[in-house]
A and B are shown apart, each in its own frame.
Chain A
Amino acid sequence: SSSGGGAFSESTLETFFQKYQSEETKKETATDKKEIDAEGIMRFFDDLGINPESDLVTLVLANKMNAQEMGKFTHEEFTSGMRQLQCDSMVKLKKKIPAMRQELVDSYAFKAVYEYAFRFSKEENQKALNLDTACAMWELLLKDKWSLLDKWCDFLNREHKKAISGDTWNQILDFSRAYNSSLFGYDAEGKDAAWPVLIDEFVEEQLEKLKEGMK
């Protein structure tokens, strides 16, 4: 099979897909029925040398494929993602990984990955993301980026105990950038009036605690 260089070829891409395609869908003739299942994905990342449990670059890659569901790549998702990356083989894909890792550092590209994570993680028929998953995803995405993350998740588990809306999810990234280490200067009536109510409540509680701590 083709290794390393060589021009991108649709037939090679198809072979690449078939390598991971689930046995049950191999009999299907319609392309929209063909898919890679959880087992195939494990093999795929294994071959790629990436641990999908802890390595965020999986999310970047899933975003390239615009994968809608966890544990499944459809034929359409896989091929269009690879076509966009111009990869028809594992060797080519491996070479792209460092660039994809860079996207996790670049703040603009990261925003896209972050927002994608919400769609990717939630149940397909639901609008909000259940709290446990949300906290786990934040842990993956923001652990090194936001020093108030633990406090935030702790607050949600104590006071909110409900799913997280898409708006709150998206706004948290901006918020984590605006108030990275301290909530000092938060103005709920002025410049900060538009943050979701949940953030207001978090800030209020934290500032209250700070005040008590100072006494």
Chain B
Amino acid sequence: MQQQQQQQNEIGKNGDLSSLGTDFEMCLTRLLTSLSLSLSLSKQQTGIQKLKNLLDNPSSKNNENNGENNGNVVEEINAQEFMIHYTTCYDMCTQKPPHDYSEALYKKYKEVFEEYIDSVCIPALKSRSGEFLLRELDLRWKNHDIMVRWMSRFFNYLDRYYIARHSYASLKDVGMTCFRDRVYKTLAGAMKDATLTLIDKEREGEQIDRALVKSIVSIFVQMGSDPNSEPLQAYELDFETPMLNVTAAHYKRQAAVWIEEESCPNYLVLAEGCLDMEKDRVQHYLHPSTEPKLMSKIEHEILAEHETKLLEKEGSGVSWLLNNDRKEDLARLFRLFTRIPNGVDPIAKAFKDHVTERGLELVEMATQSINEEGTVSGKQQALPSTVEQSFVQDIIKCHDKYIAFVSECFNDDVVFQRAFKDAFERFCNKSIGEVTIAELLANFCHSVLKKGGKEKLTDEVIEDHLEKIVKLLAYISDKDLFAEIAKQKLATRLLQDQSASEDLERSLLSKLKQCNGAQFTMKMESMVSDIQMAKENNPKYVEWLKEKSAKNNEPMPKTDMNVTILADGSWPTYTVMAMTLPEELTECVKKYEEFYENTYASRKLTWIFGAGSGVTLNIKFAQKPIEISCSTLQASILLLFREFDSLKVEEICEKMGVGIDDLREELPAIMFSKFKLLKHQPANPDEKKRTINALDVITFNDDFTDKARKIKIPKMSKVDRKKVNEIVDQDRDQTILAAVVRVMKSRKTMKHGDIQLEVVNSLKKLFLPEVKKVKKMIEKAIDQEYIERDPDDKMKFRYLA
């Protein structure tokens, strides 16, 4: 007991402790004093009195505005003092029974906290409210924390042996439990209310003491970190849930006002501001786990709840934003609604509708302009090339514009890519009058790739145009129709020497190949190669002619001839017009056949006189000689008039070995156009003008003249839409049949519906097969014994190996 006495004296000497220190010292002293009361009452009397004096005169200045002087406590208790306290406890616990005071000390430890809290803390807190309550609580909590820390160190010997042996609550836990049970439980509600009031003030724009709120929040958090309860249970139940509810209510009110008063773009700015602010709030003083919960509450209240109304706002909603190219606002709209599940779907739909509408407007405009033109010219077959050009260019612009929306406003989101694609697929598969957009695209390619287009475009611009066309083609379901027309146009360019650049031709083909596969461009590529071959072949022919005439001492033919060998199957089918050629040409043809047979013995040559760039004649008219380039048939007819002054149409037919319909096609260009090389005398003068009948008389117009030295008779190279459709239709039948056989070959046995599905899937990139066609081709495959019906189930088919 000597040491205990000594210790009290020490405390007496240090009576000028700071108040924080005092609180703590006092408790310890009380504990030790009251314990010693039962042992040696009289000696303690003086010590208690001294402490009471300290309590009566608390130097409470530090207490009220503290915060910073916690560190002092440590200094107030020096190592010597600490050792004295620890040793006292040690001595009291290590004496032999009945003088082992462990249990009494453990009980007393708790009582000290209880007594201290009841007599000091609670009265101090009870008298305060609101922010003052929070400040006092903050202070009391910090003091309590320090007290627990020191007390548990003084009594550490209990923790190490007595508590460990009995599995009692640790000294720290006992301290914490005292605070929770006596302070927190009574004040949690008031704490929450006061904190929420502060947060609310901040939301209204006032400055608040964020450090204070953060401290209070940390009390809520630590009250939950009891091993017997869920971590964060106290925080979540007593603070977070009410806080979330209050927040939701706050934004519900706020949003209700905004949605009525603000325009859509303003609303978005406000909403984004709130979300940023709340995020900042969480990061500053709330628990991190609160962030997703808080954000989703607010997102729900200000975004999800009002989305429809916001998007549909008259004069500022999503349509208005799209109509007015408000990219920045649209980007914000996307950014915000991407935060809520399926939030961007209505925006994507509005975008799709908007783009579809723009596209349909373009289609409508073009349709109207052909209708107007149609009433003038009386035919609706073809689109005037100006309309065609501007329409395709408008579509390209539309594509550029809205693809930029997708990337700049909508972050290349897949939902928007899909919407964009859907919109283009919708209107790109419309047709303008009878003209499909596939045809327009093919024509557009032709117009930029042929020689002497109206505007002089640089190669870069052309490349760019072609690139865009290939992109647009992706939205068209009848890609095979495009391919067929493009092929025919390419044939025209190649055979009539109209192609502006071989490089550009190849560039288009490689772009098409890249997007649609090798099959798609195979024929066109082989056409280009044929032309290349022809260029190499013709000098060889000339060489051969020279050698031959030198060897046999024959004169060279008077007429030059360029032959292009077309591989069968790649090129469009040309009607082989059986016609009698004039002598000069016959000679050339014979010579070439000889050359060809010598060079490629096994190949068969069929002449298509109508397909080439034609014949150039030098005709001496009465006024001046003019070089005329025209078709082979036209040239042959002109040459007839070297022998005859006039011929009936039926005589021309007979001499040329052609039908009258061929003449009806070829004669107008040299008889009724501005190049009247021939004169026409109808047998029946009542007959409509410009019709050609068997008995009409044709004479050579020797008086013809023209300013130019050279004339090119324009060739009709119109794509016959009906014929193209037939070709495409037949090709489709073959493609579908092949697909049916292919599918059945790999699956062996299949249900009718599954074949349909697989075939459509495998072909839809090229075109969309009709159900009925697929069905017909299934029947054809049965007919051709590729497959058979299952005898027991007519819905099932089997592959016949």
Measured CB to CB, the residues of A under 8 A from B are 127-128, 165-168, 170-171, 174, 193-197, 200
Contacts and interface: CB of A to CB of B under 8 A. Distances in A.
A167 B782 contact: yes
A166 B795 contact: no
Interface in B732-758: 752-753, 756
B752 A168 contact: no
Contact of B783 (A166, A174, A193, A197): A166
B779 interface: yes
A169 to B, nearest CB: 11
A193 B782 CA distance: 16
Interface residues of B, number: 12
Contacts of B753: 193
Given A193-B752, A194-B752, A194-B795, A165 B782 contact: yes
Given A196-B775, A200-B775, 19 more contacts: A128-B783, A165-B782, A166-B782, A166-B783, A167-B779, A167-B782, A171-B789, A171-B794, A174-B794, A193-B752, A193-B753, A193-B756, A193-B775, A194-B752, A194-B794, A195-B794, A196-B779, A197-B772, A197-B776
Contacts of B779: 165, 167-168, 196-197
Contacts of B775: 193, 196-197, 200
A104 B795 CA distance: 26
A52 to B, nearest CB: 29
Nearest to B780: A165
B795 A165 contact: no
Nearest to A193: B752
16 contacts: A165-B779, A166-B782, A166-B783, A167-B779, A167-B783, A171-B789, A174-B794, A193-B752, A193-B756, A193-B775, A194-B752, A194-B795, A196-B779, A197-B779, A200-B772, A200-B775
Given A193-B752, A193-B795, A194-B752, A167 B772 contact: no
User: Among the interface residues A174, A194, A200, which one has the most CB atoms of the partner chain B within 10 A?
Assistant: A194
Interface in B750-787: 752-753, 756, 772, 775-776, 779, 782-783
Contacts of B776: 197
Nearest to A165: B783
Contacts of A166: 782-783
Nearest to A189: B771
Contacts of B772: 197, 200
Contact of B789 (A167, A193, A200): A167
Contacts of B794: 171, 174, 194-195
Contacts of B782: 165-167
A197 B775 CA distance: 7
A105 to B, nearest CB: 21
A166 B782 CA distance: 9
A42 B70 CA distance: 130
Contacts of A193: 752-753, 756, 775, 795
Interface string B259-287: 00000000000000000000000000000
Q: Is the interface of B mostly helix, strand, loop or mixed?
A: helix
A197 B779 CA distance: 8
A197 B774 CA distance: 10
Interface of B: 752-753, 756, 772, 775-776, 779, 782-783, 789, 794-795
B758 to A, nearest CB: 15
Nearest to B788: A167
A167 B789 CA distance: 8
A171 B779 CA distance: 11
Nearest to A111: B791
B754 to A, nearest CB: 11
6 A-B pairs with the lowest CB-CB distances in the bound complex, closest first: A194-B752, A167-B782, A194-B795, A165-B783, A197-B776, A197-B775
A197 B782 CA distance: 13
Nearest to B784: A127
Contacts of B752: 193-194
Q: Max chain A CB contacts within 10 Å: which of B752, B753, B794, B795?
A: B794
A197 B795 CA distance: 13
A111 to B, nearest CB: 9
A170 B795 CA distance: 14
B737 to A, nearest CB: 14
A168 B779 CA distance: 8
Contacts of A197: 772, 775-776, 779
A171 B782 CA distance: 12
A174 B772 CA distance: 21
Most buried by A among B753, B756, B779, B795: B779
B795 A127 contact: no
Nearest to A195: B794
A195 B775 CA distance: 9
A194 B794 CA distance: 7
Contacts of A171: 789, 794
Contacts of A165: 779, 782-783
A127 B781 CA distance: 12
Contacts of A128: 783
Nearest to B774: A197
A168 B775 CA distance: 12
Nearest to A127: B783
B777 to A, nearest CB: 10
Contacts of B756: 193
A170 B779 CA distance: 12
A127 B780 CA distance: 11
B41 to A, nearest CB: 104
Contacts of B789: 167, 170-171
Nearest to A115: B791
A24 B64 CA distance: 139
A197 B783 CA distance: 13
A170 B782 CA distance: 12
Nearest to A168: B779
A168 B795 CA distance: 14
A171 B794 CA distance: 8
Nearest to B789: A167
A192 B26 CA distance: 98
A146 to B, nearest CB: 17
B753 to A, nearest CB: 6
Nearest to A190: B753
A128 B784 CA distance: 11
Contacts of A174: 794
Nearest to B773: A197
Contacts of A194: 752, 794-795
A196 B777 CA distance: 10
A177 to B, nearest CB: 11
A186 B60 CA distance: 99
Contacts of A168: 779
A167 B717 CA distance: 44
Nearest to B785: A127
B720 to A, nearest CB: 27
B57 to A, nearest CB: 99
Nearest to B755: A194
Contacts of A196: 775, 779
Nearest to B752: A194
B394 to A, nearest CB: 39
B59 to A, nearest CB: 95
B722 to A, nearest CB: 22
A119 B782 CA distance: 15
Contacts of A195: 794
Contacts of B783: 127-128, 165-167
A167 B794 CA distance: 10
B633 to A, nearest CB: 38
A170 B794 CA distance: 10
B129 to A, nearest CB: 76
A139 B782 CA distance: 25
B555 to A, nearest CB: 56
A196 to B, nearest CB: 5
B568 to A, nearest CB: 28
A197 B756 CA distance: 14
A119 B775 CA distance: 24
A171 B788 CA distance: 12
B604 to A, nearest CB: 29
A128 B779 CA distance: 12
